[in-house]
Amino acid sequence: MRLPQSILRYLSAQTVHFLTTGVAITLLGMFPVSASAATPQLTCAPASLRFGAVVVGQTETLLVTVVNNGQTSVTVSGMAVSNSEFTPSSLNLPLVLAAGQSVNLNVTFAPTAKGWTGIGAINFSSNASNAALGLGVEGTGVSSEAMTASPSIVSFGQVLRGTSSTVPVVLTNALSQKVTLSAIQTMGIGFSFSGPTLPLILGPGQSVTVNVTFAPQAARTNGGSLFVVGLRLAVPLTGTGIVTPYSVNLFWNPSSGVEGYNVYRSTATNGTYSKINSTVDSNTAFTDGAVVSGQTYYYAATSVSSSGQESARSTPVQVAIP
């Protein structure tokens, strides 16, 4: 089915700022309008840090975010560590967190002896409704690693809220004997994984790929980890959710004899085009709000008949986001 000439000639686009009211709606969606009685005013994300098996003399660092979930400001006045093998980055105390504001901390585990540290804590004191907040920490010192990961640290960079990014992580048996992957889990808000069916046995030197995904729920930096249970391998994860103040408005002249239209997007004029409308749209306009500042996009449209036959894509339209 040939694309109607009205689309071929008049598919147009413009980039505009969201209205002020649109920005306000987006920001309000990041946090509850009122703090639930079940949600403490001050929280840590993740709620605890589970370090892997770290060779004595080496270090591993995980990111944690301290969040003010309330509607009033919070003053963090103190931070104390129960185990000297865990070292958080410094805070300029007293630290005032406005409603909805957060602060990131890097916590480093440096084992001085072999064995499990037990469950320790980094304790925060503040004037929040929950004046005392404890971040659980634990890790294990070892003489050698049972499993390695490539990459050993995963940084997703900036990811638009409402979208996701996936990075493959290769896990390799570093021992001279078989190992069993019994369970894998992700810790941290917005992180998930997909991969092999478990349990899985890996021979010496054998590897398996796990796909780790970050889908930010708010416009802030998040920390987490991919944790291999039993073998105690922790892969640090970080990612930053962003909200762009731009959208792209597409529009074209209507055509007769069609059920509707599909809209496709690519980051290269001759690249792979992905459909960005969930269902065939009978409207002759479409707004793409999932765009990133500094990126150039290419858009094309197709028409769809009542029998479901789809035309070829139109000539791409280029849009550069400021």
177-222 pLDDT tens trace? 999 999 999 999 999 999 999 999 999 999 999 999 999 988 899 9
Q: What is the pLDDT of residue 63?
A: 97
Q: Is the pLDDT of residue 47 over 50?
A: yes
Sign of CA dihedral 18, 21, 23, 25: negative
Total count of domains within the chain: 3
Mean pLDDT of 226-231: 94
Of residues 88, 89, 86, the one with CA closest to residue 110 = 86
127 and 163 share a domain? no
- Per-position b or e across 176-211, b if 16+ CB within 10 A of its CB: eeebebeebebbbbbbbbebeeeeeebeeeeebebe
In a domain, 283, yes or no: yes
Question: What is the domain range of residue 301?
Answer: 5-18+245-320
113 and 139 share a domain? yes
In a domain, 307, yes or no: yes
Q: Is the pLDDT of residue 19 over 50?
A: no
140 and 46 share a domain? yes
In a domain, 177, yes or no: yes
In a domain, 37, yes or no: no
Q: Is the pLDDT of residue 29 over 50?
A: no
270 φψ region: left (φ > 0), alpha (ψ -120 to 50), beta (else): alpha
In a domain, 36, yes or no: no
pLDDT tens, residue by residue, 162-173: 889 999 999 999
Of residues 213, 149, 154, 143, the one with CA closest to residue 181 = 149
26 and 131 share a domain? yes
27 and 134 share a domain? yes
Q: What is the pLDDT of residue 36?
A: 38
11 and 96 share a domain? no
Q: What is the pLDDT of residue 12?
A: 54
Q: Against a cut of 0.75, is the pTM above it?
A: no
In a domain, 296, yes or no: yes
Q: Among 82, 114, 144, where does a domain finish?
A: 144
In a domain, 86, yes or no: yes
Q: What is the pLDDT of residue 8?
A: 41
Q: Among 242, 260, 293, where does a domain finish?
A: 242
**Helix ranges (DSSP H) in 215-295:** none
Phi, psi of 125 (to 5 degrees): -115, 140
156 and 122 share a domain? no
Q: Is the pLDDT of residue 7 over 60?
A: no
Tell me which amino acid residue 310 is: E
Q: For the domain that residue 120 is a member of, what is the CATH number?
A: 2.60.40.10
205 and 279 share a domain? no
Q: Among 242, 257, 274, where does a domain finish?
A: 242
Tell me which amino acid residue 155 is: S
25 and 130 share a domain? yes
222 and 309 share a domain? no
238 and 251 share a domain? no
281 and 314 share a domain? yes
- The DSSP call for residue 281 is B
Q: What is the pLDDT of residue 21?
A: 23
pLDDT tens, residue by residue, 48-98: 999 999 999 999 999 999 999 998 999 999 999 999 999 999 999 999 999
Q: What is the pLDDT of residue 38?
A: 58
